[in-house]
Amino acid sequence: MEIIQSAPVDPEPHYAQMIKADKIKTIPIYDIDKKNPAAVTKAEETRIERKGNEVHVYGLAMRSKFIFDAKAKRPDVIEVNEGDKVFIHLTNVDLDQDITHGFGINKYDLNMEVQPGQTNTLEFTANKAGTFPLYCTNFCSALHQEMTGYLLVKPKK
Ligand SMILES: [Cu+2]
């Protein structure tokens, strides 16, 4: 076979190949990992909890938004203080086999994947004050680029 064009586009899965359909044996739907104590399955369960200088975010990733705290005025915003230790527990409630979400904060050099049904945790210290956009880093649907939010880090006085 002749390769017509090849380009690196990682991590977005734009490469395509042809294969006979009967060769593919897939798992059509995954389950939510309910054994993970940080898992949340509904918007009502999302929340941001402070314990001293630790902030735990129990959020959802779904096409095409993040919900960190459904009760907040801006459910897609995480607000912390400079110096806080931040734990972002994100559950992907899109259960179709090919809907992997990502979570990235560019200025903090952070990125993680969250597979369908998985709860994954990202831990970091908010050592830079400011407003930082966050976004889904895996192509998940036509509205993928709408899957965004903000990390707000209040400066120390
Ligand atoms: Cu996504």
Tell me how crowded residue 101 is: count the other CB atoms within 10 A of its CB.
30
Q: How far is the CA of 155 from the centre of ligand 1 (A)?
A: 29
pLDDT at site 154: 98
pLDDT at site 49: 98
Amino acid at 140: C
Short-list 77, 70, 80, 92, CA closest to 125: 80
* Contact between residue 80 and residue 55 where contact means Cβ atoms under 8 Å apart: yes
pLDDT at site 14: 64
Q: How far is the CA of 140 from the centre of ligand 1 (A)?
A: 5
pLDDT at site 33: 86
pTM, full prediction: 0.82
Pairwise CA distance, residues 95 & 58, whole Å:
18
Q: Phi/psi class of residue 107: alpha, beta or left (left: φ > 0; alpha: ψ in -120 to 50)?
A: alpha
Instruction: From first to last of the 157 residues of the chain, give the pLDDT tens digit.
Output: 788 777 655 565 666 677 888 888 776 778 888 899 999 999 999 999 999 999 999 999 999 999 999 999 999 999 999 999 999 999 999 988 778 999 999 999 999 999 999 999 999 999 999 999 999 999 888 888 899 999 999 999 8
pLDDT at site 29: 76
pLDDT at site 8: 59
Q: How far is the CA of 10 from the centre of ligand 1 (A)?
A: 15
pLDDT at site 9: 56
CATH homologous superfamily for the domain 28-154: Cupredoxins -  blue copper proteins (2.60.40.420)
* Contact between residue 80 and residue 154 where contact means Cβ atoms under 8 Å apart: yes
Q: How far is the CA of 52 from the centre of ligand 1 (A)?
A: 31
* Contact between residue 122 and residue 88 where contact means Cβ atoms under 8 Å apart: yes
Q: How far is the CA of 141 from the centre of ligand 1 (A)?
A: 7
Rg over alpha carbons for the chain, rounded to the nearest Å, is 18
pLDDT at site 89: 98
Pairwise CA distance, residues 105 & 126, whole Å:
11
Q: How far is the CA of 117 from the centre of ligand 1 (A)?
A: 13
First-last CA distance in the chain:
63
Q: How far is the CA of 147 from the centre of ligand 1 (A)?
A: 6
Q: How far is the CA of 98 from the centre of ligand 1 (A)?
A: 11
pLDDT at site 44: 97
Neighbours of ion ligand 1 (CB under 5 A): 101, 136, 140, 147
DSSP code of 96? B
pLDDT at site 78: 98
